Amino acid sequence: HIIEQLNINKMRGASYPAVTDNDVFETYIPLPPLPDQRRIVARIEELMERVREAKRLRAEAQKDADLFMQSALAEVFSKLPPARIPLSEILSEKPRNGWSPRCDNAPHGIPVLKLGAVLGFRFNPSEIKRTSLPVNPKAHYWLTKGDILISRSNTLDLVGHAAVYPGEPYPCIYPDLLMRIRVKSSIANPQFVVYWLQGMEVRTYIRERAMGASSTMKKINQADVCSLPFPKIEIEEQRRIVAYLDQVQKQVTALKQAQQETGSELQRLEQAILNQAFKGEL
């Protein structure tokens, strides 16, 4: 709180603005009698403990939201027949890694996805860079609506995350660290495939096959993806499951949004407590 009292005009330095020790020493602060200081500190600690408890409950709610989706996936997939086929049997072409051009982020450059675009099994269109390099309009690295993108290199918990490209931004290039698969639309629903990749059976399969000497970077290859087990069910059943899981996902998203807003409110509450304390209003 004292730092906020420093005059911003005293900050010096072009690349790293800062204040001097004297600026800090010359700053006036309220100094009530010692008994009042102790009372204020005790009151601040009491209120901050309540805030900390609220944050703990919020963190638990965040975990519950994540478990809610996993529980729904487990329930749905446990009811499927046990027959499995290799994922390659539903693909219309072989998996392809993308291209990672040098990006200058020019305003009118072509969008290039970042690895974060598929994390959490949700497509995030804001996770892009831009390139002004010459491109080949007939190259393999252009995305088409309905393409499935899979993270082929990441931490053990994140490798294999996937999402469906919804068609925007367009045109769009996918990078080398993502792998694209395209499914036969007559026998496979792209969103069902992504939900299936999110389930425990496939996540376990990927963890067992991900390779890499570094503990922070594991990789899967095209052969790993082609051999992933896939349930042998009709596309109508896939669509029915997608409709149900989409509704579950909407609920999870709403819960997480509410938790994010609560987190911001708790941060503002902490600052308000300090402001009131130093104004003598506690």
Whole-number Å distance between alpha carbons of 48 and 10: 31
Q: How do residues 27-72 score in pLDDT, each as one tens digit?
A: 667 677 888 778 778 877 877 787 777 777 767 766 667 788 889 9
Amino acid letter at 133? L
Q: How do residues 66-104 score in pLDDT, each as one tens digit?
A: 788 889 999 999 999 999 999 999 999 999 999 999 999
Q: How do residues 199-253 score in pLDDT, each as one tens digit?
A: 999 999 999 999 987 878 999 999 999 999 999 999 999 999 999 999 999 888 8
Q: Among candidates 47, 55, 24, 28, which has minimal Cα distance to 281? A: 47
As a whole number, the mean pLDDT across the chain is 86
- Backbone angles phi and psi of 96, in degrees to 5: -135, 135
> What is the side-by-side order of every strand in the sheet holding 162-164?
96-97, 178-181, 148-151, 162-164
Within 10 A of 114 (CB to CB), how many other CB atoms are there? Answer: 18
- Yes or no: say if 149 and 161 are a contact pair by the CB < 8 Å rule: no
Whole-number Å distance between alpha carbons of 141 and 108: 19
Take residue 50 and report the two structure tokens written for it.
């309540």
CA 41 vs CA 252, 270, 271, 273: distances in Å: 39, 14, 15, 11
Residue 280 confidence (pLDDT) above 80: no
Burial of 44 (0-12, 13-18, 19+ CB in 10 A): middle
Residue 272 half-sphere exposure toward CB, CA atoms < 13 A: 8
Within 10 A of 39 (CB to CB), how many other CB atoms are there? Answer: 13
